[in-house]
Amino acid sequence: MNTIIEKTRLSEDVYKMVFQAPYIAEARKAGQFLIIQLDTDFGERIPLTIADADEQAGTITIIFQAVGKTTRMLGDLNQGDSIANVLGPLGTPTDIRRVGTVVCVGGGIGVAPLHPIVQAYKQAGNKVITIMGARNKDLLILEEEMRAHSDEVIICTDDGSYGRKALVTQPLKELCEQGIVDEVTAIGPPIMMKFCAETTRPFGVHTMVSLNTIMVDGTGMCGGCRVTVGDETKFVCVDGPEFDAHLVDFDNMMLRQKAYKEQEQHADHACNIGLDVRTPQGGTK
Amino acid sequence: GDLKVKERLGIPQQDMPAQDPVVRGGNQCEVALGYTEEQVRLEALRCLQCKNAPCVAGCPVSIDIPSFIQKAAEGEYQASIDIIKESSLLPAICGRVCPQEKQCMEHCTVGKSLKDPMLSVAIGRIERYVADWEREAGKITPPQVGPETGFKVGVVGSGPAGLTAAADLRKAGHQVEIFEAFHKPGGVMIYGIPEFRLPKAIVEQEIATLEAMGVKIHLNFLIGRTRTIDDLLNKDGFDAIFIGSGAGLPKFMSIEGENLVGVFSANEYLTRSNLMKAYDKQRVDTPIYPSEKVAVIGGGNVAMDAARMALRLGAKEVNVVYRRTREEMPARAEEVDHAIEEGIIFHFLHNPTRIIGDEQGKVCALEVQRYELGEPDDSGRRRPVAIPGSEYQIPMDTVIPALGNVSNPLIRQTTKELETNKWGNILVDDENRSKMDRVYAGGDIVLGAATVILAMGEGRRAAAAITKDLTSGRWG
Ligand SMILES: Cc1cc2nc3c(=O)[nH]c(=O)nc-3n(C[C@H](O)[C@H](O)[C@H](O)COP(=O)(O)OP(=O)(O)OC[C@H]3O[C@@H](n4cnc5c(N)ncnc54)[C@H](O)[C@@H]3O)c2cc1C
Ligand SMILES: Cc1cc2nc3c(=O)[nH]c(=O)nc-3n(C[C@H](O)[C@H](O)[C@H](O)COP(=O)(O)OP(=O)(O)OC[C@H]3O[C@@H](n4cnc5c(N)ncnc54)[C@H](O)[C@@H]3O)c2cc1C
Ligand code: SF4
Ligand code: SF4
Ligand code: FES
Ligand SMILES: [Mg+2]
C-alpha cells in the first residue's frame, strides 16, 4: 500500500512524489489534502495537499518542501518504498464555479496546492490568470503545468532572476485596478496570503485562501487546527482548508503556527546529527 | 465452612494497591496495580450472594455478578471469567474504567448496609483480577467462529462499540471489515484514556483476538471521505453497516482568548500524549507544549485525564477549574482521589471568564469567576450561580478545556438518509437500527458521550439485530 511509483526533485528541497492510493485517487477533489505518517509508533502526522491524481492508475501526487524532520524523512524515501500511513482525502473541496475571470496566486510551495485548483477552474470554463512567485528562478516549481491550465501566467521573483522583480501582490493589484477580476484564490506563506487579502479588500473582490495550520488528526477531533474567521472559530481540517481571506485573523494564525518552533528545531537537529536516526518504516539504522 | 452475613460484612474492603503518588507523577505506568490473589479471595468473600442480586441491575450488560464473584472466592478463576464473558467482551477494560460506584456498586447490598456505595463489594476490581489472570496466563483463546453465512458487514470505528459489534458479527459467521480513521485501532481507549489508567497492551490484545477470528481492519480509512456509507453498500458489496464512530468533536467555551497559543482541547492534548506518545520526547516526533502552570476546565474523566497527564509531562502546577463541587463531579471517584493524591489543585465553584494573552499571543493568565450553589435544577443538582464582581486572574501558561464532546458531522453530512437529533446523534430504534435500511449505529454516536460499557452493550445489541435481519431476509 502507498507504494512510491515516482520521485522527482523539483528544486533544491522540493520533491514531487507519485504513489499508489486508489481509493483516494478516486474520491479526491481539488482543494483536498492528506495526512501522512512515516512511522506508526514514532512518527508525527503531517498534512500535505493532493497536488494531482490519476484515477485510472490509482495514483496521487504530492509536492512538498523538506523544511523539517518529517518532510526531510519523506524526501529520503525512494521509488518502491511505501509511506506507512496515508489518510484522505480530507477537507472540504474547493467551491469551483464558473464565475468569469479568476486570478490564482501561488507563492513558494503554495504553487503545489494551487495546481489542482487552477486545473479545476479552467475545466469549469473560467478564464484563469495565474500569478506565481518565488524567491529566485531555481525555486520556481510547476511552471509548465501552470501554463498548460492557465490563460495567462505572470511570474514574479524576489531577486528578478526570472519574470518580474516584484511581489505577487503587485500584479494582483494591477489586475484588480483593471476591474477584470471576479475571484481570487491565493495560496502561499501566511504573510503572502495576508497581503493578498489586503490587496483585494479595497476592490471588494472575493478572495479565498488555503490555510496551513498545525494539524493532528485532520478529521475534526482535536481542534488543534482552529482559526478565527470573522467572529467564529473554525476547524481548518473540516471547515476548510479554504476560507474567505477578508475574514481570517492571520496574525493569530501565524502565532499558532509557531507554537512548537523550539521542539521542531530540536527534532530536526537530532535527526541531522544522527543521534536517533530511524528508517521511515521503523527500526534503527 | 460458610460465612455468616455478619462475618462477611466484617471483612474490610480490600484497598487497591497503587503506585506511590510521587513516583507515578513522573511516569506513564498504570497507577492501580491490581489485587493480589489473597486480596481478591477476601474481597470476593464480602459478597452476600443476594438472591435478588440488585447489583446486576446496575450493570449495563447485566453480568451475573454473584456467580462470577462466587467462583473467584473459590479460586476458580477460569470459571469466573467465563461467566463474565457471557455478557461482557472487554472485562479487563471495564473492570478498570467503569464508573462502578454509579453502576453495579451503587446497588450492592453491602454498600447499602455500610451506607456508602464506595464500600460496596469492589466488583470491578474482582472483574479486573480474573480478566488479567486469564490474559497473563496466556489463556485467552479466540471465540469460536460460526459457519460462514456469506454475508459481509462493515463496521465504522474501532472503539468499544465497533470492536464488540465486530466480534459478535464474526462469531455469527459473517465476514467483517472494520474501517478506522486513525492509524491505530481502539478508539478513545487508545487515543483518549491514558496508559496510566488503561495500559494499551490490553486494548491491543483485544484487537489481536479479533484479527485472529478473521476480522479485517482497514486503518487510515475515513468513512464519509475515503468512501461513503453509500459506496460501501452499493459499490463494495456490504450487506449491512454498523456505525460506531463515537463523539469526537471537542466543545469549547466561546470565551475571549480561546485561540491563543497555549489553549488546547483535552482531545488534542491527550491525542498528542497517548496515541502519538509525545511523553516519549527522545523518540517520537510529535511535540507537546512545554507547560509550567496548567488549568484544566471541567470535572469529568476527560478533565482528570488531561490534568494528570499534564502533571506527568512535567508541569509544576496543575489546576482543575470546575463550576460545581466535588459531589457533582462526573469523573470516576477513584480518579478524583488519585488526582488529589498526586497534588492536583481543585478550584470548585469557579468558572473561567476569559483567557489572557501576552504580546506574543501566548496564554499568560486565566480569569475566573466565583460561583455559589443556588436552587436545584432539572437534574436535581443545585445550580451554580455566578457571584457578580468576583472575577480574578490566576497566572497560567496553558489552558485545557475538557468540556466533553459532541458528534462529528462527517458521516451525517455524507449520508443523506440517516436521521439525527439536534446534537447530531444518530437516531435508532430499540435494536439499534438507524432510519436507513441496512445501517445500524451504537455507542457514543447514538448516546452522546457515554461510557465504554454502554458502547459495548450497544455494539452487541446492534450485532444481534444485524444477524437477525440478514438471516431472516428482512433486507431481501
Ligand atoms: C492543509 C495543509 C496542506 C499542506 N500542504 C502542503 C503541501 O502540499 N506541500 C508542503 O510542502 N507543505 C504543505 N503543508 C505544510 C506541511 O504540513 C508542513 O510543512 C509540515 O508539516 C512540516 O513538518 P516537518 O516535520 O517536516 O517540519 P517541522 O520543522 O516540524 O515544522 C515546520 C513548520 O511546519 C508546520 N508544521 C509542523 N507540524 C505540522 C503539522 N502537524 N501540521 C501542519 N503544519 C505543521 C509548522 O508551522 C512548523 O513550524 C500543508 C499544511 C496544511 C495544513
Ligand atoms: C479522555 C476520556 C476518558 C474517558 N474515560 C472513561 C472512563 O473512565 N470510563 C468510561 O466508561 N468511559 C470513559 N470515557 C468515555 C468512553 O471512552 C466512550 O464512551 C467510548 O469510548 C465510546 O465508544 P465508541 O465505540 O462509541 O466510540 P469511540 O471510542 O469514540 O471510537 C470511535 C472510533 O471511530 C473512529 N471514527 C470516527 N469517525 C470515523 C469515520 N468517519 N470513519 C472511520 N472511523 C471513524 C474514531 O477514530 C474512533 O477510533 C472517556 C472518554 C474520554 C475522551
Ligand atoms: S461491567 Fe462495569 S458495571 Fe458491569 S459489573 Fe463490571 S464493572 Fe460493574
Ligand atoms: S448486591 Fe453486592 S453483595 Fe449482593 S450479590 Fe451483588 S455484589 Fe454481592
Ligand atoms: S486537525 Fe484535529 S481538528 Fe483539525
Ligand atoms: Mg515536525
Domain-embedded: residue A279:
no
Same domain, A125 and A228: yes
CATH label of the domain that carries residue A250: 3.40.50.80
The bound ligand whose nearest atom lies closest to the alpha carbon of B81 is 3
Q: Is the CB of B47 under 6 A from ligand 4?
A: yes
C-alpha cell at B330: 462526573
Note whether A6 contacts B: Cβ–Cβ < 8 A: no
Q: Which of A90, A122, A142 delimits the end of a domain? A: A90
Q: Which residue in the set B225, B272, B284 is minimally distant from A216, CB to CB?
A: B272
Same domain, A250 and A123: yes
Partner-chain contact A227 B259, CB within 8 Å: yes
Number of domains in chain A: 2
Burial readout A36-63 (b: 16 or more C-beta within 10 A, e: otherwise): bbbbeebbbbbbbbbbbbeeeebbbbbb
Instruction: Assess if residue A271 is contained within a domain.
Output: no
Assess contact for B435 and B427: CB atoms under 8 A.
yes
C-alpha cell at B265: 482541547
The model's confidence at residue A270, banded by pLDDT at 50, 70 and 90, is low
Asked whether A198 lines ligand 1 (CB < 6 A), one says no
Q: Give all strands of the β-sheet with A46-49 in edge-to-edge order.
A: A46-49, A33-37, A85-90
User: Hey, whose CA ends up nearest to atom 8 of ligand 3?
Assistant: B104
> A90, A123, A143 — which closes off a domain?
A90
Within-domain flag for A277: no
Q: Say if strands B152-156 and B439-441 run parallel, antiparallel, or are unpaired.
A: unpaired
Residue A273 lies in a domain: no
Round to whole Å and give the CA distance between B329 and B323. Answer: 9
Q: Give the CA count within 13 Å in the CB-facing half-sphere of A17.
A: 27
Same domain, yes or no: A86 and A128: no
Interface with chain A: mutation pick from B180, B190, B220, B411, highest number of A CBs within 10 Å: B220
Calpha distance B130→A21 (Å, rounded) = 44
Q: Are residues A254 and A134 in the same domain?
A: yes
Is B67's C-beta closer than 6 angstroms to any atom of ligand 4? no
| Nearest in space to B474 (alpha carbons), one of B168, B160, B169, B151 | B151
Does residue A96 fall inside a structural domain?
no
Convert the pLDDT of each residue in A52-87 to its tens digit: 999 999 999 999 999 999 999 999 999 999 999 999
Could you tell me the residue range of the domain that residue A114 belongs to? Answer: 101-259
Q: What angle do CA A126, A130, A135 make, to 5 degrees?
A: 165
- Within a domain: residue A114? yes
Evaluate whether residue A170 is within a structural domain.
Answer: yes
Q: How far apart are CA A87 and CA A237, in angstroms?
A: 12
Beta partners for B179? B156, B218
Mean pLDDT of chain A: 91
Chain B residues with CB under 8 Å of a chain A CB are 181-184, 219-222, 225-227, 248-250, 252, 254, 258-262, 264-265, 267-268, 271-272, 276-277, 280, 282-290, 360-362, 408-410
- Cβ-nearest to A216 among B268, B282, B361: B268
pTM for the predicted model, two decimal places = 0.94
Grid cell listed for A260: 512548537
Grid cell in block for residue A224: 488543534
pLDDT along chain B (476 residues), means of 10: 86 95 94 97 96 95 96 96 93 96 95 94 97 94 93 98 97 98 97 96 94 97 97 97 95 93 97 94 92 97 97 96 93 95 97 95 97 87 92 97 91 94 94 97 95 95 97 90
C-alpha span between B315 and B342 (Å, rounded): 12
**Claim to verify: residue A79 and residue A112 sit in the same structural domain:** no
Are the C-beta atoms of B260 and B355 separated by less than 8 Å? yes
Q: Please provide the distance, in angstroms rounded to a whole number, between the alpha carbons at the two ends of chain A.
A: 23
Residues whose Cβ atom is located within 5 A of ion ligand 6: A 68-70, 264
Q: Are residues A15 and A129 in the same domain?
A: no
Do A22 and A110 lie in a common domain? no
For residue A53, what is the domain's CATH number? 2.40.30.10
Let me know whether A122 and A246 are in one domain. yes
B242 lines ligand 2 (CB under 6 A): no
* CA end-to-end span of chain B: 60
Q: Which ipTM did the prediction report?
A: 0.93
CA pair distance B105, A49, nearest whole angstrom: 52
User: Cell for A65?
Assistant: 518542501
A246 and A115 in a common domain: yes
**Residues A169 and A244 placed together within one structural domain of the fold:** yes
Quick one: A168 and A224 in the same domain?
Answer: yes
Q: Indicate if A64 and A173 belong to the same structural domain.
A: no
Distance, in Å, from the CA atom of B232 to the CA atom of A156, rounded to the nearest integer, reads 47
- Examine the fold and report which residue of A90, A112, A129 is the final residue of a domain before the chain moves on: A90
- The answer to whether position A274 is within a domain reads no
